[in-house]
Amino acid sequence: MARVFVTRRLPGSALDRLSAEHEVEVWPDQLPPGREELLARSRELEGLLSLLTDPVDAELMDAAPALRAISNYAVGTDNVDLDAASERGITVGNTPDVLTESTADLALALILGVSRRLVEGDAYVRRGDWRTWEPELLLGRDLHGATVGIVGQGRIGQAVGRRLEGFGCELLYTDLGVGVSLEELLDRSDFVTLHCPLTSDTRGLIDDEALRRMKPTAYLVNTARGPVVDGEALARALHAGEIAGAALDVTDPEPLPGGHPLLEAPGLLVLPHIASATHATRERMADMAVENLLAGLAGEPMPNQAN
């Protein structure tokens, strides 16, 4: 029986299966454990089930000499130093391919939400401002027949494309030199939706120059990774009216601190990183994370091993 620390409660019953085989401590708070808390618990840990909010670096691994397996409750491993784990013989797992459809659904919801001004409309009614129907009240933009630029032609980008075909959209793709150039996509698109991984090439991909290329009537949507977009550049573009609006499920940093320029920007719809937040998806992620950890602690290859 191994000692395991889980950095947050997870939906579903997967942790019950983990607890049946190992000694498991689950962090009880809504906010993640602080750095000192993680380091303090690491000394006797053999297994760690982490979230994207937990930095799992070489220092943490060195503080956990018995650590054998890390299971990351996330599609990516941005928060885990994979090289450091491999050097120390620690297996790392993640939960890939599980949130494609849920994320694509949310991307479409963001496109419609920002272009049809749904949040503004809800607030307008709740404030009691709605007194009569008006021809020019809260005018938005049509999605049907629009040109949509999809940055990233992986599983999620393709799933978004399939949904947009039903709206009769013209689709432009760009991905690692495949499809149209990013410049052409930005020039022509009524909506630009981001579905690329975070790499050295994509960090800050949407900057001042990229935003200036977009139409003043166009919208930017990001359900990929926050740092793909330069947040301050986006705030400047929204304030200047260089684009019509933006809808973000991810930001840099997360969460946005009070007073961040984006929070004061017009035409912005922002969500707290909930693309995978459906019961079915999050429970499946928990199942996969536990399956990875059980295998790693048993000395077996993880079903979804990242290193």
Using left for φ > 0, alpha for ψ between -120 and 50, and beta otherwise, residue 168 falls in left
Give yes or no for a contact between 72 and 50, defined as CB atoms under 8 angstroms apart: yes
Helix (H) or strand (E) segment spanning residue 21: helix 14-21
254 is catalytic: yes
Task: List phi, psi (to 5°) of 93.
Answer: -120, 160
Among the listed residues 41, 68, 225, 282, the single catalytic one is: 225
Among the listed residues 141, 203, 212, 273, the single catalytic one is: 273
239 is catalytic: no
Instruction: Find all residues with CB under 8 Å of 133, minimum gap 6, and list them.
Output: none
Closest C-alpha among 156, 231, 148 to residue 195: 156
Give the bridge partners for 5, in sequence order: 25, 48
d(CA 176, CA 153): 9
225 is catalytic: yes
Residue 288 CA, chain-centre distance (Å), reads: 18
Among the listed residues 209, 254, 264, 300, the single catalytic one is: 254
The catalytic residues are 225, 254, 273
